[in-house]
Structure formats: C-alpha cells, structure tokens
Amino acid sequence: MHTADVIIIGGGIVGSSIAYHLTDAGCRNVLIIEREPHQGKGSTGKSMGGVRAQFATDVNIRMSLYSIPFYASFDERLGETAGYRPQGYLFLATSQKHLEYLCINQERQKSLGLTQARMVTQDEVAKQFPQLKCDDLMGGAFCPTDGFVDPYSAMNGFMAVAAQNGAHIWKGCEVTGIVVDKGGVAGVETSKGCVATRIVVNAAGPWARDIAKMVGVDLPVHPLRRQLVPTEPFPDYPHTAPMTIDMSNGFHFRPESLGFLLAWADPDETPGFKTDFDNSFIEKILVRAANRVPCFENVAVNPKRAWAGLYEMTPDHHGILGPVKDVPGFFLANGFSGHGVMHAPATGKILADLIRTRTTDIIDPHVLRFERFEEGDLIHETAVL
C-alpha cells in the first residue's frame, strides 16, 4: 500500500501552493491527487487573475498583505513566473455611501500596513482616464500594488518547485472515499488504489462539498457561475489601466493581451455546476461597459472566446481554512468566493503552518474556522467581486 504524510485533494492553484509551502518547510512525502488529466482545468484556469488588498475585513487584508508581495517576488523565490503586473485596482464610487465605505475600508487597510492605498477625486480620475464617463462620480480609491497575475503560470510554478522538493502528483485520479478510524483520517481510496495517511487537505474547489461528505462533514460551499468576456484588440483605452470597478453595478474590467477582459456578477445567477457560457450575457455586459466607458460601444467581442468558471461560495463569502474538530487529520482550504487565486500564497502558508505547528502568524485562524457557521459567528464582508 502507498503511504503519504499529507494528501492534498485538488491540484489547482490552492492545492499547489499548499504543496509548495509544505515541502518548502521540509515536509517531503506529499501527494496531490488531481482528477483531471491536466492541472488547472477547474477554477484556476478560468480565473480573472486579479489580486488586491483593498478589502473590508482584517482577515482578507492580512491574506493579501502576504500574497501580493509573494507574487511580486515569485520569480526570485521560486525561479518560476507568476506574471504579476502591479497596475492597481481603481474603485469608482457613484454615491456618498460608496465613497464613505471606501474611506472607512482604507483606514482599516492602512492600520494593517497597506500604506500605498489612497483616495482619488473625480477630477483625478477624469484627467487620467478621459475615456471614462465621470460626471456621476463622487471619487474613488486606488492602490498601485494591486493588479493581476497569471493563475496558470503561478499554479505551475508552485507545483514545479513542490515536485523538486519531493512532492508527487497523481493526475487523472478520482478520489472515491476517505478512510476514517478511531484516531481520525487513516487513508484515501482512489481509482489508482488506497493510500495510507493521517492528514488529508480538501482543496477541491467548487467540488469540495462532495469530498467533505466522505467524512460526514456538511461543508457550506456551493458553486456559482461567473462569466468572463474578453474583447478583440482595442487600442482606444490605455492598456496601462488598472482593474477598474464601477461600484454602481459591479461591472469591472482590466487590460488583457491587446484587448480587455470584461466581468460582471449577474444577480440573477443561481448556484449550480454550470460551466457553459450563456451568449445572452454578452449584451448585458456590453450595455454596462458602454455606460461607464462610452468608447467600449465600438468594442468587438467573439462569443467563442468568452468563458464561464465557478466561484466556490460560502454563506459569508470568506474562505474556510484549517482543521475540522470532529475529524482529526481532515483539513479544509475551501470556499474562497472568488479570491482563491489572489489568496493562494497565504492559504498555502496558513495550511502548512496549521498542519505542522497548529498555529500561524498570518491571520487569526479562529476567524476562518469551519465551526463558525454552526456557531452563527459569520464574517461580515460587503464588497464581493
């Protein structure tokens, strides 16, 4: 029978980061199980790749303050590339309420060490981006260290170094069961045989709930479709632009190749494993795009290049990290609600710390514990993209 010190179920960017951080800390016998023949076919490869520290809760800000500098030094640390581009995030407020929200959040961000974030006026925005419709703006918030990464490259980088450090990955391998005895987790049953282990990490993304059921845990993680629309090459808006978020309706966009990547969370979307792109979404998003960026009225879109991916949503839109009290040896790294890629470095470090030493200094692990849902101790986060 095969044995492993730690088994990670899910070989996307989160599982790969956990494997990297574990092996970097000296844990060598790590096995990643990925059901697809290639990594990154789940949420990782369909992500928008944004990274930001402009959040409203301490735990998300702290995770970003570990993750973004990690991405900035990725090439140096790992000898691999993550494609980090610090072009910033620009939030556009069209109401006094949104402006006050941004101000309050920025005070919190600065108190935790994010010194680069600043408020911007309507005039500043209009001067820098005359292509934007600005007459309804009250102002906004900008942070230059926010930006974008290439999720696929980052995942491959984490995995390459983890493999150099001794980790193994089984691709095209289905997890069929998790063995539990009196001491907790005892092994994982797969389509390639059984592996004995005392530690299993659930990093299965939108499919995490099915894995948790194998040990009798009801995990409140549900898949929610998010659709992204890349444009054809478009030179009439600067490609040095930040991720720009229209707070009036949640429409956001960023430069991508010679065009732009357009995103919007359709409030009519319902949970489920829907990964097909709905062509009717294009008109919805282009209306919002042209409303904020009038020259986008002329942008060309090829529906065949658009795609849909899955967010893994929790009731409070925050991740679930750490051990499950009732199942010793069963760890969760789930429910990132759209922030899996941007927080993957922090998640990897936190899980590696909790597995090895039961504590971590990046966040207060109590905040993201699984048991908070049963206890009714949810986290309040109002800005979800």
Which residues is 215 bridged to in the sheet? none
- Identify whether residues 210 and 331 lie together within a single domain: yes
Distance CA 68, CA 78 (A): 15
Start-to-end C-alpha separation, the chain: 44
User: Could you tell me the pLDDT band of residue 383, with boundaries at 50, 70 and 90?
Assistant: low
Shared domain for 255 and 288, answered yes or no, is yes
Write out pLDDT tens, residues 260-312: 999 999 999 999 999 999 999 999 999 999 999 999 999 999 999 999 999 99
pLDDT top residue among 46 and 203: 203
Classify residue 77: in a domain, yes or no: no
Q: Are residues 197 and 168 in the same domain?
A: yes
Mean pLDDT of the chain: 96
> What's the structural domain count of the chain?
2
CB 245 within 8 A of CB 90: yes
The answer to whether residues 139 and 228 belong to one domain is yes
pLDDT of residue 40: 80
Is the pLDDT confidence value at 5 over 70?
Answer: yes
Asked if 164 and 124 sit in the same domain, the reply is no
Question: Considering 295, 312, 329, which residue would you say is the last residue of a domain?
Answer: 312
> What pLDDT, in 10s, does the model give residues 348-380?
999 999 999 999 999 999 999 999 999 999 997
Domain boundary residue among 293, 312, 331?
312
Report the pLDDT averaged over residues 7-11.
98
The pLDDT of residue 285: 98
Same domain, 128 and 236: yes
Q: Do 343 and 215 fall within a single domain?
A: yes
pLDDT digits (tens, 9 = 90+) for 150-190: 999 999 999 999 999 999 999 999 999 999 999 999 999 99
pTM for the structure as a whole: 0.96
Go through 143-165 and write b for each residue having 16 or more CB atoms within 10 A of its CB, e for each that does not: bebbbbbbbbbbbbbbbebbbeb
Choosing from 312, 338, 367, the residue where a domain stops is 312
Distance CA 299, CA 276 (A): 23
- Domain with residue 326: its CATH number is 3.50.50.60
Give 385's pLDDT tier (boundaries 50, 70, 90): very low
Residue 291 sits at φ, ψ, to 5 deg, of -65, -40
Look at 114 and 45; give whichever has higher pLDDT: 114
Under the banding of pLDDT at 50, 70 and 90, the label for residue 46 is confident
Whether 212 contacts 219, CB under 8 Å? yes
Residues 217 and 126 in one domain: no
CATH of the domain at 255: 3.30.9.10
Radius of gyration of the chain from Cα atoms?
21
Instruction: Kindly provide the b/e burial profile for residues 94-120, where b requires at least 16 CB atoms within 10 angstroms of the residue's own CB.
Output: beeebbebbeebbeebeeeebeebeeb
Range of the structural domain that residue 181 is part of: 2-49+151-221+315-375
Whether 114 and 6 map to the same domain: the answer is: no
Residue 214 lies in a domain: yes
pLDDT digits (tens, 9 = 90+) for 109-153: 999 999 999 999 999 999 999 999 999 999 999 999 999 999 999
Amino acid at 209: R
| 176 and 129 within one domain | no
Q: Does residue 382 lie within any of the structural domains?
A: no
> Could you tell me if 231 and 274 lie in one domain?
yes
Q: Is pLDDT above 60 for 2? A: yes
* 303 and 234 housed in the same domain: yes
Share of the chain above pLDDT 90, in %: 95
Look at residue 311 and give its three-state secondary structure: strand
